[in-house]
Structure 1
Amino acid sequence: MTLVIATATQTEMKAVLLGFNRRGRVGCKLPTTGECCESPVNGHRCLLVVTGVGPVNAALSIGRVLGENKGVCGVVNLGVAGSFDLEQAPLGSVVAADSEIWPEYGLHTAEGIDPRGIKFPVLEYTGVDGQYSVWDRIELEPEKGFRLLKLSAPKDLLKGASMTVSGVTGTEERARMLTERYAPLTENMEGFSLALACLQAGIPFLELRTVSNLVGSRKPEHWKLDDALQALGRHARELFV
């Protein structure tokens, strides 16, 4: 069985691999955007995937990977993210998504977006207790994911709702609006697509991201990307201990 390790960018993948062995690679070349390569990671058979940035790229990449590779047991999405609240999720902290939110799906109204306004759910599927529909949120179970994939939870792991957007939130006003309407902890650009693909395929999904910035702020003191990338590698290594 193969575990997919997915990052949005080659920079994030390199940080993950540097965390594994300090050389930026594990048994294969560093995949570029849209590429994937097989690699063992501490006894796990893994497929390293760089999806490209954004929900469309993520959907295209994971669809191709799952379609071309039989026996995928699950997907781990690693990367960096913005924090809506630096007191709850400080710069450099690691957060596991316990739900994924897509705030851009539905009918635009004066009061905001109504995900049920166009009457078509993103996905309808059969669960253990019946039929379910996905609109703008997917509930996740990180503890179950760690157990099923035989991975270790990193130390000091936080949990919270993650929001996937097509465009990064660039103003404090929009950050406040999203917080009031959806109460997310972090912002990313790929997680909902990957979570949806795993839900449809019936395989576990884990999303772990380190905090690189404060959502809505462009102030230099609210951005620590290099520190977040170093933390990403460190916590990625902890998964396989």
Structure 2
Amino acid sequence: MTLVIATATQTEMKAVLLGFNRRGRIGCKFPSMGECCETPVNNHQCLLVVTGVGPVNAALSIGRILGERKDITGVLNLGVAGSFDLEQAPLGSLVVADSEIWPEYGLHTADGIDPEGIKFPLWEYNGVDGPYTVWDRMELEPEKAFRLLDLSPPRELLKGASMTVSGVTGTEERARMLTERYNPLTENMEGFSIALACLQAGIPFLELRTVSNLVGSRKAEHWKLDDALQALGRFARELFV
């Protein structure tokens, strides 16, 4: 059985591989955007996938894999993210998503977006506790996913709500609005799509990201991408110990 390790970019995938083997490469062709590559990682058979940036690329890449292969046991989504609060999630810290939010789904009104305003949910299914409807938020179960995927939670692990956007938040005003309305901890561009694909396929999903920046700020002191990538590799290695 095969575990998908998905990153949005080759840069993030290389950081993960550097954490695994300090070489940043593997025994097969390094995956380009939209491609995948099979490789063992300790006792796991893995499929490395570079989805491309954004929710559409993520949905297409993971959806294609899940449609073509029936041996996928789950998806591990690794990468970097922005933090809405550097006191709660400092630069370089690792955050596991316990929910995913898509703030762009629904009916745009003068008071903001109403996710149920268009009357069409993203997904409906019967869960353990009864019927469940997905609008603009999904609750995740990272502890259960760690166990089902036989992965080790890193020691320095934070937990919080992750928000998926099509366009990165570039102003403090928008960051404040999103915080007040949704109370997210981190911002990313792929997680919701992959989480929904896994929900529909009935397989575990786990999303872990290191903090590279403060959401809404373009100041140099609020961006530490290289540090976040190094931390991503270090934490990725801990998952497979």
SS at match of 1:89: coil
Counterpart of 1:87 in structure 2 is: 87
Shift of residue 197 of structure 1? Answer: 0.3
Report the Cα distance in structure 2 between the residues aligned to 1:10 and 1:136, rounded to whole angstroms: 28
Aligned residue runs from structure 1 range 1-241, under 5 A = 1-241=1-241
Give a deviation string over 1:163-195, Cα, whole Å, max 9, x none: 000000000000000000000000000000000
Distance 1:26 1:78 in 2: 17
TM-aligned CA deviation for residue 69 of structure 1:
1.4
Q: Structure 1: which 5+ residue stretches go unaligned? A: none
Deviation at 1:71, TM superposition (A): 1.3
Q: Give the length in aligned residue pairs.
A: 241
Superposed CA RMSD: 0.6
SS at match of 2:238: helix
Q: Contact conserved, 1:32 with 1:50, CA < 8 A, in 2?
A: yes
Deviation readout 1:97-133 (Å, 9 max, x if unpaired): 0000000000000110000000000111121122211
Give 2:72's aligned amino acid.
V
Of 64-73 and 180-189, more deviation after overlay is shown by: 64-73
Gaps of at least 5 residues in structure 2 are: none
TM-score with structure 1 length normalisation? 0.99
Distance 2:165 2:151 in 1: 28
Identity of aligned residues (%): 87
Matches of 1:45 and 1:26, distance apart in 2? 13
Which amino acid is the alignment partner of residue 32 of structure 1? S
Aligned residue identity for 2:147: R
For 1:128 and 1:134, how far apart are their aligned partners in 2?
A: 15
Distance 1:212 1:168 in 2: 13
The residue type paired with residue 194 of structure 2 is: L
Inter-partner Cα distance in structure 1 for 2:210 and 2:30 = 21
Distance in structure 2 (CA, Å) of the matches to 1:129 and 1:216: 38
Range that drifts further, 121-130 or 58-67: 121-130
Equivalent pair of 1:26/1:41 in contact (CA under 8 Å) = no
Question: How far apart are the structure 2 equivalents of 1:80 and 1:206?
Answer: 14
